[in-house]
């Protein structure tokens, strides 16, 4: 993997349905060159899948992140147990036998029960719990999904790059109808797209940096700074409603030397109290109740 591959992944994170032609235009490469690079990442499973999800506007939910050191000596079994819970979306394993468990919950009333489950099954101590900030909707309210919308989403659930013509052939509607429905759902922020990739197999170094801003510094100012100055290394950035002075970023660097330089540069910005690198060596994704909800809706309408 190199910086161009990283740019491709960044674009997929923003919109996994971006076309090869659009990618080529953004990167200044030929369509054929971009296609070959994407194939080189998808065919061996470096990029695992492109997915589509219902946004909170279409299906109310919240995200929770439970982190801590695990006492387990059977990490694979522990991850499997955590993944069997229909609320568990992702489990990451990092240095010092630490677990980072992301759950998707219907509302805050489910927080206590889920945290207790993760603590018990993950054998977690020194636990921290964070509720992820959710993007505020800018689209008009009053829009609802139809049975056909759910069938389209279900068809693309684990392949959001599926062509409209293939979805139309599967569902017995025109490709034009599929495109129009997707555009409507996108414009009204009813769905969003994701890309799932295997951190370990892509090469280079993927790191989660846990950042704490200094007293008096607005975390959103830190987010703006990171997006402006460190975008070439940045994959994702998260803020938390329960810990407003904390944010985490996923970054990619070629080497440990580059990572150290990146960390030093962030620390020297003068707005962070601490920048803590967390080395993730295993990331596991699971279906949740949201996926089952889509299937049930697709069948019932």
Residues 131 and 103 in one domain: yes
Q: Which domain holds residue 34?
A: 3-44
Quote the pLDDT of residue 199: 72
Q: What is the number of domains present in the chain?
A: 2
By mean pLDDT, which of 114-118, 265-269, 277-281 is the weakest?
Answer: 277-281
Instruction: Report yes or no on 239 lying in a domain.
Output: no
Each residue's pLDDT tens digit, 122-175: 999 889 999 998 777 665 567 799 999 999 999 999 999 999 999 999 999 999
pLDDT at 101 over 70: yes
Comparison of pLDDT for 42 and 22, the residue scoring more: 22
Quote the pLDDT of residue 198: 79
Residues 67 and 26 in one domain: no
pLDDT at 99 over 90: yes
Token couple for 276 = 């803590």
Quote the pLDDT of residue 271: 95
Instruction: Report yes or no on 88 lying in a domain.
Output: yes
Q: 104 vs 10, 25, 167, 214, 289, CA distance in Å? A: 23, 35, 27, 30, 8
Each residue's pLDDT tens digit, 59-90: 999 999 999 999 999 999 999 999 999 999 99
Instruction: Report yes or no on 214 lying in a domain.
Output: no
SS3 44: coil
Mean pLDDT (the chain, rounded):
92
Cα separation, 298 vs 301, whole angstroms: 6
| Residue 14 Ramachandran class (φ > 0 left, ψ -120 to 50 alpha, else beta) | alpha
Q: Which of 266, 276, 219, 226 is nearest to 244 (CA)?
A: 219
Q: What is the b/e burial string over 62-92, where b = at least 16 CB atoms within 10 angstroms of the residue's CB? A: bbbbbbbbbebeeeeebbebbbebebbbbbb
Q: Are the C-beta atoms of 209 and 267 separated by less than 8 Å?
A: no
Quote the pLDDT of residue 141: 63
The CATH number of residue 8's host domain is: 1.10.10.10
pLDDT at 288 over 90: yes
The CATH number of residue 77's host domain is: 3.30.70.100
pLDDT at 14 over 80: yes
Q: Are the C-beta atoms of 118 and 124 separated by less than 8 Å?
A: yes
Token couple for 273 = 């109290």
Instruction: Tell me phi and psi for residue 80, to 5 degrees.
Output: -60, -40
Residues 67 and 38 in one domain: no
Instruction: Report yes or no on 125 lying in a domain.
Output: yes
């Amino acid at each position: 993997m190199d910086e161009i591959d990283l740019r491709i992944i960044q674009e997929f994170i923003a919109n996994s349905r971006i076309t090869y032609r659009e990618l080529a235009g953004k990167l200044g490469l030929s369509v054929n060159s971009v296609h070959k690079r994407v194939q080189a990442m998808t065919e061996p499973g470096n990029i695992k899948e492109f997915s589509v999800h219902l946004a909170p506007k279409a299906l109310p939910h919240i995200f929770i992140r439970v982190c801590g050191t695990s006492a387990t000596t059977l990490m694979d079994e522990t991850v499997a147990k955590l993944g069997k819970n229909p609320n568990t979306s992702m489990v990451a394993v990092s240095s010092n036998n630490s677990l980072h468990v992301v759950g998707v919950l219907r509302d805050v009333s489910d927080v206590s029960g889920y945290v207790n489950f993760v603590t018990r099954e993950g054998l977690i101590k020194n636990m921290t719990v964070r509720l992820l900030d959710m993007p505020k909707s800018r689209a008009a309210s009053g829009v609802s999904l139809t049975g056909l919308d759910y069938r389209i989403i279900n068809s693309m659930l684990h392949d959001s790059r599926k062509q409209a013509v293939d979805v139309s052939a599967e569902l017995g509607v025109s490709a034009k109808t599929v495109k129009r429905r997707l555009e409507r759902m996108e414009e009204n922020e009813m769905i969003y797209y994701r890309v799932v990739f295997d951190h370990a197999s892509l090469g280079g170094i993927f790191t989660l940096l846990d950042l704490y801003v200094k007293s008096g510094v607005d975390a959103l100012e830190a987010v703006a700074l990171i997006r402006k100055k460190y975008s070439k290394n940045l994959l994702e950035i998260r803020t938390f409603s329960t810990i407003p002075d904390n944010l985490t970023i996923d970054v990619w660097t070629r080497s440990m030397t580059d990572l150290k330089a990146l960390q030093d540069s962030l620390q020297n910005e003068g707005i962070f109290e601490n920048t803590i690198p967390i080395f993730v060596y295993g990331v596991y994704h699971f279906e949740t109740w949201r996926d089952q909800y889509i299937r049930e809706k697709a069948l019932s309408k």
